[in-house]
């Protein structure tokens, strides 16, 4: 009998459990096999639930990434627009207002990402407040940048939380997988004790660990037809 390990995909672990539970059900009069089916089925159910929770958390990271990218995009455009307005107020490039608000130009802010850009936008808001006495539109521009900066910061926080949630649920999934592997090993031990000299019967109750899971097969672009496997108690006919 083969045993799944920590590197065995979860989908394969669930297939292995489904196989053994169903095969044990072929012997309704055997109390030991019924007990194995119950315990292994419970461990598989817990693993399936933990995996589903982790998968959902991983999928939730994508919209959070989209939100951050969008907030970065709109912030970059608004920063450029603020620079253009400052230059218009000066009547030329590198005028007094624009030089105070964007001492290094807008590119030094726009090329940043994440929290670094949020911090740079806070500094930009401060410089806009400073030129309010000499630029009538400075307060309006400061408010516009502040609103975008708040949206950017919120998107970053949501992305961080999504990643943290996924990490926590992955840990929970890993614990459930360890428990499943223990239950599977115990099931194999109980089967060996129930059928101590019948390796054919033992092998019948557990599927091949090395084959791909049904989920992996279904994810292929092509189709794979089920194949009959040779009976474990029959050798190949070398003369045939």
Q: What is the pLDDT of residue 230?
A: 58
- Report the pLDDT value the prediction gives residue 224, as an integer from 0 to 100: 56
Place of tokens 């031990």: 189
Q: What is the pLDDT of residue 235?
A: 47
pLDDT tens digits in sequence order for the chain, 240 residues long: 789 999 999 999 999 999 999 999 999 999 999 999 999 999 999 999 999 999 999 999 999 999 999 999 999 999 999 999 999 999 998 899 999 999 999 999 999 999 999 999 999 999 999 999 999 999 999 999 999 999 999 999 999 999 999 999 999 999 999 999 999 999 999 999 999 999 999 999 999 999 999 999 998 866 555 566 655 555 444 443
Placement of tokens 């489904």 in the chain: 18
CA atoms within 13 A on the CB side of 124: 32
- Asked if 76 contacts 110 with a C-beta cutoff of 8 angstroms, the reply is yes
pLDDT score, position 233:
54
> Looking at residue 220, what is its pLDDT?
80
Q: Are 106 and 99 in contact (CB under 8 A)?
A: no
CB within 8 Å of 203: residues ≥ 6 apart: 1, 232
Tokens of 4: 């799944």
Q: Name the pTM for this structure.
A: 0.84
Predicted pLDDT of residue 100: 97
> What residue spans define the domains of the chain?
10-208
Q: Other CB atoms closer than 10 Å to residue 84's CB: what's the count? A: 13
DSSP one-letter code for 6: T
Nearest one of 174, 208, 171 to 12, comparing CA atoms: 208
pLDDT at position 1 is 79
Backbone phi and psi for residue 103, each to the nearest 5 degrees, phi listed first: -60, -25
pLDDT at 236: 41
- DSSP code per residue over 10-65: HHHHHHHHHHHHHHHTT-TT-HHHHHHHHHHHHHHHHHHHHHHHHHHHHHHHHHHH
């Amino acid at each position: 009998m083969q045993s799944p390990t920590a590197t065995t995909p979860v989908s394969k672990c669930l297939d292995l459990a489904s196989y053994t539970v169903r095969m044990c059900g072929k012997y309704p009069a055997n109390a030991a096999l019924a007990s194995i089916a119950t315990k292994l089925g419970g461990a598989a159910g817990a693993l399936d639930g933990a995996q589903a929770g982790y998968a959902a958390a991983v999928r939730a990271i994508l919209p959070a990434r989209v939100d951050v990218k969008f907030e970065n995009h709109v912030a970059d455009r608004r920063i450029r627009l603020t620079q253009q307005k400052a230059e218009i107020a000066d009547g030329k490039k590198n005028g007094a207002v624009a030089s105070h608000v964007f001492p290094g130009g807008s590119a030094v802010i726009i090329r940043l990402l994440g929290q670094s850009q949020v911090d740079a936008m806070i500094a930009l808001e401060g410089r806009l407040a400073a030129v309010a006495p000499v630029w009538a539109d400075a307060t309006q521009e400061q408010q516009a940048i502040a609103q975008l900066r708040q949206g950017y910061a919120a998107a970053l926080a949501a992305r961080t939380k999504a990643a943290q949630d996924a990490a926590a649920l992955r840990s929970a999934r890993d614990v459930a997988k360890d428990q499943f592997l223990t239950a599977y090993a115990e099931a194999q031990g109980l089967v060996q004790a129930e059928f101590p000299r019948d390796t054919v019967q033992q092998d019948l109750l557990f599927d091949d660990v090395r084959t791909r899971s049904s989920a992996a097969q279904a994810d292929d672009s092509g189709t794979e037809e089920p194949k009959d496997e040779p009976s474990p108690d029959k050798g190949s006919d070398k003369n045939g």
